[in-house]
A and B are shown apart, each in its own frame.
Chain A
C-alpha cells in the first residue's frame, strides 16, 4: 500500500526565539514500487520529512499513512511500523555496536520479537544480500572491517527486519566512486528482491537520475515539485530557479545540443546518450552522403 502524506507541517522549537518551520504543507503520495528520490539543499527539510515515515519524528499537524498504518494516533505499534519501514541513516556504520557481525545484524529482528530460529535465517539472508560471505564475516567484529564493509553490515542490520519500504539518507556519502556504484547496485538488487519501495535522499544528481523513477525537490521546507528525472532535468528554468545542478550526462547532452547536435536535453543515462549521439551522427552523415 502506498505512503500518503497530507498537509504535513512541522515546526522546530515552537514558541521560542529559535522557532523554525521545517516542513510547510507537504502533500505527497509514494506508490508501491516507486524508487523515490528526494533532493534539496542542506536544511531544506529532507531529513525531517523522512524521519516522519517511521515516527521518529511525530506528526504535529497533517496526516501520514504508511502501508495502511495511520501515524497520527499517540499510541502506535512502533515495532510493526519500524519493521515495515527500514531506515538507513547517513553514515550508518556509526551505529554498529555488537561484538560480532552476526549479533549486530540480529539486533533489529530481536527487537521486533522475531522467533529465535527465524532470526538466524534472516541474518544469514541479510548478510548475503549485501554481498558479504556469511561464514567468513559472521564471527568477525564489525569494528575491524573496512569502511565499505561496515556500511554493508549496517545495511544488513536494517534488511534483516525485512522492511517493505526502505528509506536511505545519503547511502553513498563518503565512499569512493567504486564503493558508491556498488552500494547503488546493491540497493537495486534489494529493491527487486525485498523492499518493493525505496526512498533515497541524495546530493548526487547522477545517482538520483540513474536510480529513481520519481524525484521530489525540497526547498526551504516546501516540496517544490515531483517529477520523473527526464522531465525534471530537461527543465532548465526550473533547475535554475531551485538552484539544482544537472547530472553530468545531462549537462554533456546539453552542451552537445548547444553545439547543434540533435540530442534530447533530458537524457540522464550513459546508454541513452550514446544511442542518441550515434543516431544524430548517422542522421547528419546520411544527409551529407
Chain B
C-alpha cells in the first residue's frame, strides 16, 4: 500500500525541471496535438528521438519513464490485436489466413503505427509529470484557466480543491494502512470470502476513514479561516511565475519540431523529398 504515488515527480536539477510549468503544460498539449499529425514511421521515429532527447536532458532515469508504460501495456496490446484481427484490406495483401482469421500486411502496419502513437502520446505527459511537482501543475493550470474566471467559473477554487486533494492522498493512504492493521488485530479478515463478503469486510475500514476525512476537512477549514483565507479575491502569490529566456528557447524548439512534422505531412514548399530520403536512410 505504501508504494502508491499519484504525483510521480522525480527531483533532479535540469533545464526541463526549471522551465515555467505553464509553458510546460502548453508544450505538452502542443506535443499531443502534434502526434495526431504524424502518419509515417519516419515521423514516429523522429518524435521518438525527440522525446528520448528530452528525457536525457531532464536527467530522469529512462527506466522511470518507461515504467509509466506499464499502465498502458494492455491498452496497446488490445488495440494491436483488435486491429490485426478485424482489419479487412486488399485480398492480394493477405499474409495469412485460417478459419475466420485473416491477417493483412496493411493491418500489421496500421497496428504498429497505432501502438507507436499511443506510446508516444503517453510519454509526453509522463515527462511533464516527472519533471513538474503536482503543486506546480495545479498552479500552472490555475493561471492558464484564469480567463475562464471572467465567465464566472471558479478557477481558483477548483485549483485549491485539486491541490488539497493531491496533498491529502499520501495522508489517507497512510491512515488506511493504520486502520486496516487495527481491524486485522481485532481479527478482521480481508483476504478470504467472495467478492461481496470482501466488500462488506471493508466497511470497518471505510467508515473510520470517512469520519477522519471529515474531521480533517473541518480542521483544515478552521485553519484556513483563522489565517484569513478568503478565496481568490485580492490574493497574491509567493512564487510568481515569470517566463525567461530559456522558456522562449524551449518554445521555439517545440514549435520548430512541430513545423518539421507538418512539413513531412503536407509536403509544404515541396520539400517532402527530405522525408523520402530520411525514410530510405532507415
Give residues in A with beta carbon < 8 Å to B: 13, 51, 54, 56, 78-79, 82-83, 86-87, 89, 92, 94-98, 107-108, 111-112, 143, 157-158, 161
Residue in chain B with minimal CB distance to A95: B182
A82 to B175, CA, bound (A): 21
Q: Is B212 an interface residue (CB 8 A)?
A: yes
A86 to B181, CA, bound (A): 12
Q: Is B183 an interface residue (CB 8 A)?
A: yes
Contacts of B212 in A (CB 8 A): 94
| B contact patch SS | helix
Q: Is B187 an interface residue (CB 8 A)?
A: yes
Contact A111 B186 (CB under 8 A): yes
Sorted nearest first, the 10 A-B pairs with minimum C-beta distance are A111-B187, A87-B185, A97-B207, A95-B182, A108-B186, A112-B187, A97-B204, A82-B187, A89-B182, A97-B208
Tell me, rounded to whole Å, the shortest Cβ–Cβ distance linking A21 to chain B.
16
Contacts of A83 in B (CB 8 A): 187
Number of interface residues of B (CB under 8 A): 19
Q: Is B211 an interface residue (CB 8 A)?
A: yes
- Mask: chain B, 164-188; 1 = CB below 8 Å from A; 0 = not: 0000000000010011011111111
Contacts of B207 in A (CB 8 A): 97-98
Contact B185 A82 (CB under 8 A): yes
Residue in chain B with minimal CB distance to A86: B185
A95 to B181, CA, bound (A): 10
A111 to B185, CA, bound (A): 10
Residue in chain B with minimal CB distance to A87: B185
Contacts of B181 in A (CB 8 A): 51, 56, 89
Q: Is B98 an interface residue (CB 8 A)?
A: no
Contacts of B199 in A (CB 8 A): none
A108 to B187, CA, bound (A): 6
Contact B203 A157 (CB under 8 A): no
A/B interface sample: 11 pairs, CB < 8 A:
A78-B187, A82-B184, A82-B185, A86-B185, A94-B212, A95-B186, A97-B207, A107-B183, A111-B186, A111-B187, A158-B186
